[in-house]
Amino acid sequence: MTGRALREAFHREYLTFFEQAERTRRWNVFTDIDWGRLAGHDPDPGLVLCAETFCGVEMYLPDYLRAHLDLMRGDYGRAWFAANWGYEEAKHSLVLREYLRRSGARSETQLHDYADAVLARRWEPPYGDGRRMTIYGALQELTTFVIYRKQRGWADRHGDPVLPEVYRLVARDEMAHSRFYLRMIRLHLAEDRAGTLADLAYVLRTFRMPAEDLLPDYDTRVEVMRAAGIDRSVFLTEVVLPLLRELGLTRHDLPRVPAQAATEIPGPPGLLTAAGSAG
């Protein structure tokens, strides 16, 4: 496939993604959550701290978008995907922020202070290459899906009146994002199998979740995040292996990565590593 043929294939995939999103996945922060149910509810502090943490990670959206658009310049399908993806991601931090505010867990002033502290730091993309960032995107979106699915179950067990629905809607978006990136990886594999496999191996070994260590009070958040239940083995069995399976690959298809880049599969995914050390 030439560069142009690849871009045309990306564009077709984007149209499919966008059509499906418009038909089946649109939701409204203000009308699709029954916020009135929060009245008289005393939110669980652990769930609140997690919601605040994820809200913070989602707030680096301008940095994520900038990186995406810079790398995808001249690529119509990928750039339009980024614009649409940015709209969807913008709702994620907003809906979590609304939960924190409407539940009374955080005041408006606290939320503005938090936004200032979060946005005072800048997220830098871990890879300077579109194909690696696509692989990173597939992993990161699927990991986020798994984290939100677990939060949903946790919020359910605590009887939170709105958080399970919040996490259901957000997790459904994350899954759709991951599946789009997966289709991009398939196209890359068809175009340059050896190079794409090398990038897959490299990103798997160096993957970290974005931005978590940029957040204020990182150490406290790590403590609470242990309850999210994402450890290295969950990362391997619920993210890495399903992703490889969807691509028709096993770990044995991946080439070895030079020693300085390699730790072991999977790479150290930020908070996930800390969660893992809790057992």
Binding residues for Fe ion, rule: CB under 5 A, are 89, 92, 141, 174, 177
Closer by beta carbon to Fe ion, 77 or else 210:
210
- Nearest distance from C-beta of residue 209 to Fe ion, angstroms: 12
C-alpha separations of 165 from 48, 103, 154, 159 in Å: 15, 14, 12, 12
CB closer to Fe ion out of 62 and 104 = 62
**Pick 6 or 176: Cβ nearer Fe ion:** 176
- Crossing angle (nearest 10°) for helices 163-191 and 193-206: 140
Q: Which is nearer to Fe ion, 88 or 191 (CB)?
A: 88
Task: Give one DSSP letter per residue of 46-95, joined into a string.
Answer: HHHHHHHHHHHHHTTHHHHHHHHHHHTTT-HHHHHHHHHHHHHHHHHHHH
Q: What is the DSSP annotation of 127-190?
A: -SSHHHHHHHHHHHHHHHHHHHHHHHHHHHHTT-SSHHHHHHHHHHHHHHHHHHHHHHHHHHHH
**Distance of closest approach, residue 21 Cβ to Fe ion, in angstroms:** 12
Q: Which is nearer to Fe ion, 63 or 141 (CB)?
A: 141
Rounded least distance, CB 174 to Fe ion, Å: 4
Least Cβ distance, residue 145 to Fe ion (angstroms): 8
